[in-house]
């Protein structure tokens, strides 16, 4: 989404970067080296479909190779362009640094409306795109590892992995060439939900700090907070589902491509999602008020706003009317640089994209490690852990018999305590830990200096420092 009189997405990211580096003391020239995008490859390729050759344009941009492989999703959308791919690649650099995923930043995109193609056609297109990238090492387990993004998912990642394996028949680590694969093709439990789950963990962490809530004029717990979500796709759906089912938040609004739904007493997230799958949009969904111009709901009163669809949706045309005291950027770049300034001045707290949606790349990191180690997490230790827990239970049962009616174990304790952690539990634990530590690193900087007004600037400071340290360690 581009808005007249506003910088492009790429320029917006640069402006936010510049705000942060102005507060830092980097060696001369290093700032420019970190800011620029190292390379962007454009490919145009033909695929024979429906009796004729159709030409597609795709991109793979590498922002920074201070660590390799570089990492970043592949997006399928008609709006994909070089500026957008480069902005997203830059965000990947900062995101990976912030959550300590040992990757440089990259991103890819294909100009296509995936809804216009049959699955077998999408497979032909994806395999050809993957072939073009893999032969230039723009897909490679040790150099460049894509993942899903808007318009792509497990299915596309499985095709990409298979295409790479066909081209590299003796590469024992071939499966690590892409993440976000289905479990049966080398994926990891919990990857599909990971970005939305990360948004939930990020909000839970924010709500642990009185001082931070106070800045947004909020208090109490997530329980009962009114939330509006834009985009009920992979990220938005999982975030809304977990926040409502597990934290007691109320999803009062959902904005989709064909309009918005509003219900002050709360929407049933699964029911809305099923409706979208069956009807192609939210229109006609019962038990809610339908708003034709869905984006108007971004301006509705709520406690937390979660833009989880497109970039640039909160911009100079609507920022002054946005009432949410807390916005968590589940999408990449949903707030333009200009809107960011307006919101900041109003006292709105923004949990920035590079942190908020880092759950995806975090679990992708776990998947990549799993692929390289060729073993599922928990396989070696789970039963051993259970056996050791059994020892404690045996002792407690002995005590139970000894004390008679005076004391007994609560029934759920035994089953819960005895169960060793499986892969999904370990992934969630690793993700929760990552999101907490990254938040703490941001808020420490945020509160330490008076000239750092917001979490975004703090996030940039933390990650730019890490990228700078990597470059310096390389002798640059």
149 near ligand NAD, judged by CB under 6 A: yes
427 near ligand NAD, judged by CB under 6 A: no
> Is it true that the peptide bond before 69 is cis, omega within 30 degrees of 0?
yes
CB of 364 to ligand NAD, least distance (A): 8
Q: Pick the binder of ligand NAD from 104, 148, 190, 338 (CB under 6 A).
A: 148
234 is in an annotated binding site: yes
CB of 106 to ligand NAD, least distance (A): 13
195 is in an annotated binding site: yes
CB of 421 to ligand NAD, least distance (A): 23
Using left for φ > 0, alpha for ψ between -120 and 50, and beta otherwise, residue 139 falls in beta
Please state the φ and ψ torsions of residue 365, each to the nearest 5 degrees: -60, -45
308 near ligand NAD, judged by CB under 6 A: yes
187 near ligand NAD, judged by CB under 6 A: no
106 near ligand NAD, judged by CB under 6 A: no
364 is in an annotated binding site: yes
**List 107, 181, 215, 241, catalytic entry:** 107
The residue (of 199 and 348) whose beta carbon lies closer to ligand NAD is: 199
Please state the φ and ψ torsions of residue 62, each to the nearest 5 degrees: -110, 115
Q: Pick the binder of ligand NAD from 231, 253, 312, 352 (CB under 6 A).
A: 231
Side-by-side strand order, sheet with 289-291: 289-291, 259-262, 250-256, 226-230, 304-307, 326-328, 349-351
Identify each DSSP E strand in 78-131 by its residue range.
104-111
CB of 147 to ligand NAD, least distance (A): 7
CB of 298 to ligand NAD, least distance (A): 9
Closest residue to bound ligand NAD by CB: 233
The residue (of 151 and 186) whose beta carbon lies closer to ligand NAD is: 151
User: Cβ of 417: how many Cβ atoms within 10 Å?
Assistant: 14
Which strand (E) or helix (H) includes residue 40?
A: strand 39-49
* Known catalytic membership, residue 107: yes
Query: Percentages helix, strand, coil for the chain, rounded to the nearest 5?
Result: 50, 15, 35
Radius of gyration of the chain (CA): 23
Q: Which stretch binds ligand NAD (CB under 6 A): 160-168, 249-257, 264-272, 382-390?
A: 249-257
The residue (of 65 and 367) whose beta carbon lies closer to ligand NAD is: 367
The residue (of 257 and 436) whose beta carbon lies closer to ligand NAD is: 257
352 near ligand NAD, judged by CB under 6 A: no
CB of 209 to ligand NAD, least distance (A): 24
Do 180 and 153 form a contact (C-beta atoms < 8 A)? yes
The residue (of 31 and 285) whose beta carbon lies closer to ligand NAD is: 285
Q: Measure the CA–CA gap between 397 and 419, rounded to whole angstroms.
A: 17
Q: Which stretch binds ligand NAD (CB under 6 A): 60-68, 117-125, 225-233, 283-291?
A: 225-233
Q: Pick the binder of ligand NAD from 12, 300, 357, 470 (CB under 6 A).
A: 357
Please state the φ and ψ torsions of residue 282, each to the nearest 5 degrees: -90, -15
Do 357 and 96 form a contact (C-beta atoms < 8 A)? no
Q: Measure the CA–CA gap between 194 and 362, rounded to whole angstroms.
A: 8
259 near ligand NAD, judged by CB under 6 A: no
Whether the CA torsion 157, 88, 2, 297 is positive or negative: it is: positive
- In 3D, which of 190, 201, 102 has the Cα closest to residue 378? 190
Q: Measure the CA–CA gap between 464 and 24, rounded to whole angstroms.
A: 9
105 near ligand NAD, judged by CB under 6 A: no
241 is in an annotated binding site: no
CB of 208 to ligand NAD, least distance (A): 23
The residue (of 244 and 332) whose beta carbon lies closer to ligand NAD is: 332
Q: How many residues bind ligand NAD (CB under 6 A)?
A: 24
155 near ligand NAD, judged by CB under 6 A: no
Q: Measure the CA–CA gap between 238 and 31, rounded to whole angstroms.
A: 36
- In 3D, which of 453, 316, 295, 299 has the Cα closest to residue 7? 316
258 three-state secondary structure: coil
257 near ligand NAD, judged by CB under 6 A: yes
Contacts with ligand NAD by CB under 6 A lie at: 148-151, 195, 230-236, 255-257, 294, 308-310, 330-332, 357, 360
* Annotated binding-site ranges: 71, 95, 195, 234, 364
Give catalytic residues, as residue numbers.
107
* Annotated binding-site ranges for substrate: 71, 95, 364
């Amino acid at each position: 989404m581009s808005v007249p009189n506003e910088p492009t997405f790429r320029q917006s990211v640069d402006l936010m970067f510049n705000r942060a580096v102005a507060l830092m003391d980097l060696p001369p020239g290093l700032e420019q080296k970190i800011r620029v995008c190292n390379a962007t490859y454009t490919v145009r390729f033909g695929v024979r479909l429906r009796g004729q050759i159709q030409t597609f344009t795709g991109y793979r941009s590498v922002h920074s190779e201070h660590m390799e492989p570089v990492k970043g999703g592949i997006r399928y959308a008609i709006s994909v362009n070089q500026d957008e791919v480069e902005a997203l690649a830059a965000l990947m650099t900062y995101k990976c640094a912030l959550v300590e995923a040992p990757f440089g930043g990259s991103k890819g995109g294909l100009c296509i409306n995936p809804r216009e193609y049959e699955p077998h056609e999408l497979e032909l297109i994806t395999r050809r795109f993957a072939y073009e990238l893999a032969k230039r090492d723009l897909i490679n387990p040790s150099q460049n590892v894509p993942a899903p993004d808007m318009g792509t998912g497990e299915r596309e990642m499985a095709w990409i992995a298979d295409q790479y394996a066909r081209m590299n028949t003796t590469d024992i680590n071939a499966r690590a060439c892409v993440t976000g694969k289905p479990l049966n093709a080398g994926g990891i439990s919990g990857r599909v939900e990971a970005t939305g789950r990360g948004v939930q963990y990020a909000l839970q962490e924010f709500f642990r700090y009185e001082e931070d809530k106070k800045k947004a004029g909020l208090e109490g717990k997530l329980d009962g907070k009114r939330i509006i979500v834009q985009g009920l796709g992979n990220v938005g759906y999982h975030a809304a589902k977990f926040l409502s089912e597990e934290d007691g938040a109320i999803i009062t609004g959902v904005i989709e491509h064909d309009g918005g739904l509003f219900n002050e007493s709360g929407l049933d997230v699964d029911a809305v999602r099923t409706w979208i799958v069956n009807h192609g949009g939210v229109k006609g969904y019962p038990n809610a008020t339908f708003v034709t111009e869905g984006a108007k709901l971004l301006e509705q009163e709520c406690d937390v706003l979660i833009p989880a669809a497109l970039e640039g949706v909160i911009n100079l045309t609507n920022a002054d009317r946005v009432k949410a005291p807390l916005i968590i950027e589940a999408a990449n770049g949903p707030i333009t640089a200009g809107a960011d300034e307006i919101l900041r001045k109003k006292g709105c707290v923004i949990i920035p994209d590079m942190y908020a949606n880092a759950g995806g790349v975090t679990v992708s990191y776990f998947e990549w490690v799993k692929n390289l180690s060729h073993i599922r997490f928990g396989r070696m230790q789970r039963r051993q852990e259970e056996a050791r827990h059994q020892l404690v239970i045996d002792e407690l049962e002995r005590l139970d018999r000894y004390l008679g009616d005076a004391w007994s174990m609560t029934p759920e304790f035994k089953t819960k305590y005895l169960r060793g952690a499986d892969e999904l539990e370990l992934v969630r634990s690793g993700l929760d830990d990552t999101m907490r530590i990254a938040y703490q690193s941001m808020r420490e900087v945020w509160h330490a200096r008076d000239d750092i007004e917001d979490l975004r600037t703090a996030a940039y400071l933390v990650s730019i420092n890490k990228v700078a340290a990597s470059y310096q360690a390389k002798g640059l």
